[in-house]
Amino acid sequence: MGNIIMIAAAAENDALGKDNDLLWHLPDDFKRFKAITTGHKIIMGRKTFESFPKTLPNRTHIIITRDPNYKVSDPHCEVVHSLDEALRLLSPEENAFIIGGGDIYALALDITDILELTRVHESFDADAYFPSIHPEKWELIAEEHHPADERHAHAFTYQTYRKK
């Protein structure tokens, strides 16, 4: 059985983004996201998809929208109208990644098996937030801290959680 893996970067106050954009620039986190998600299906909301300059290479994009007329002509994209419909596009043994935004994260948290979270050690004003991680439901199984440096304005920690 494959896993549903949620991958996100969220601030200390769970901020994700504002005006459909990220609040920070962390090149190493982008590299990690690419390494983890390449070759897999990525599930996202329409606004997250539209925030990309182009489709992400070597990944199938599953875009959830309420708009029945929404179309994407790219062959690497599938448009669906619910999380259940998105999940039906997965084969039983494959891993898939929930990549945002805030509404999709909240919808998918209960069906997620693993959280790959980059915790940005700062608080931000935002209009999209990551759902709270309750310690009675999630076990932290790995973490790796990265201090701020000349390429990263904020310190951050990669955290991997497994559902209890």
Domain boundaries, the chain: 4-163
Per-residue pLDDT of the chain (164 residues; tens, 9 = 90+): 799 999 999 999 999 999 999 999 999 999 999 999 999 999 999 999 999 999 999 999 999 999 999 999 999 999 999 999 999 999 999 999 999 999 999 999 999 999 999 999 999 999 999 999 999 999 999 999 999 999 999 999 999 999 99
> What is the Cα–Cα distance from 135 to 32, expressed in whole angstroms?
24
Six token digits for residue 7? 């991958």
Decide: pTM greater than 0.85: yes
Q: Is the dihedral of CA 58, 68, 108, 100 positive or negative?
A: positive
- Report which DSSP code applies to 103: H
Task: Give Rg (Cα) of the chain.
Answer: 15
CATH of 4-163, one of 3.30.450.40, 3.40.430.10, 2.70.70.10, 3.40.50.12780: 3.40.430.10
Which helix or strand (DSSP H or E) is residue 155 part of?
none
> What is the Cα–Cα distance from 78 to 90, expressed in whole angstroms?
12
Give the angle 119-124-120 at the CA atoms, nearest 5°. 15
